[in-house]
């Protein structure tokens, strides 16, 4: 084997980097990748299912299950592509791995927030604020609807 290939194998084995072989999308900001539950760091998406209820947004006067919508957008963006993730060193308080995940070198977190189907989770990161501002200014995704931030929804429920 050449040195470059050996170096790449070593980096993949010894780093906080994962490549998807087995992937399941749980909701807009959580996936199971190769058996590990991964929460996208720095963003938050509406709840698909929280304490027995689905989070609702309103598009004009029509109820929309916005958590399901965020999940659908994520599933469509991933398609049949491989997902790679760069993990953070510490898990969250629920023992999920925190990571930023990518498809074709595009951050899924940035994509979701910039398209308006996720929010910059300022409590934990400032990284995706510009993406959120873009979506808000352009009234993309949930910014075209009446919604409740996911963290406020969880507090109330």
Q: Express each pLDDT in 140-157 by its tens digit.
A: 999 999 999 999 999 998
User: The pTM is what?
Assistant: 0.84
Element holding 107 (H helix, E strand): strand 106-107
Separation in Å, CA 32 to CA 2, 25, 82, 102, 104 = 33, 6, 13, 14, 18
Separation in Å, CA 56 to CA 33, 70, 110, 139 = 27, 12, 23, 18
User: Which sequence spans correspond to the domains of the chain?
Assistant: 3-156
CA-to-CA distance for 37 and 21, rounded, in angstroms?
14
Q: Tell me the pLDDT band of 19, cut-offs 50, 70 and 90.
A: low
CA-to-CA distance for 17 and 45, rounded, in angstroms?
23
68 Cβ neighbours under 8 A, 6+ residues apart: 48, 54
Considering 39-53, 62-76, 81-95, the range whose residues carry the highest mean pLDDT is 62-76
Query: Contact 114/106 with Cβ under 8 angstroms?
Result: no
| CATH of the domain spanning 3-156 | 2.40.50.90
């Amino acid at each position: 084997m050449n040195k470059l290939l050996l170096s790449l194998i070593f980096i993949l084995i010894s780093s906080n980097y994962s490549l998807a072989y087995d992937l399941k999308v749980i909701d807009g900001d959580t996936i199971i990748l190769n058996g590990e539950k991964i929460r996208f760091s720095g963003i938050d998406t509406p709840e698909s299912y929280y304490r027995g209820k689905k989070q609702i947004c309103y598009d004009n006067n029509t109820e929309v299950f916005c958590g399901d919508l965020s999940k659908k957008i994520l599933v469509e963006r991933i398609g049949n592509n491989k997902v790679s993730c760069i993990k953070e060193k510490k898990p969250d308080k629920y023992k999920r791995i925190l990571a930023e995940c990518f498809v074709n070198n595009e951050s899924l977190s940035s994509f979701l927030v910039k398209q308006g189907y996720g929010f910059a989770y300022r409590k934990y990161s400032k990284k995706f604020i510009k993406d959120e501002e873009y979506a808000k200014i352009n009234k993309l995704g949930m910014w075209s609807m009446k919604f409740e931030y996911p963290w406020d929804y969880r507090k109330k429920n």
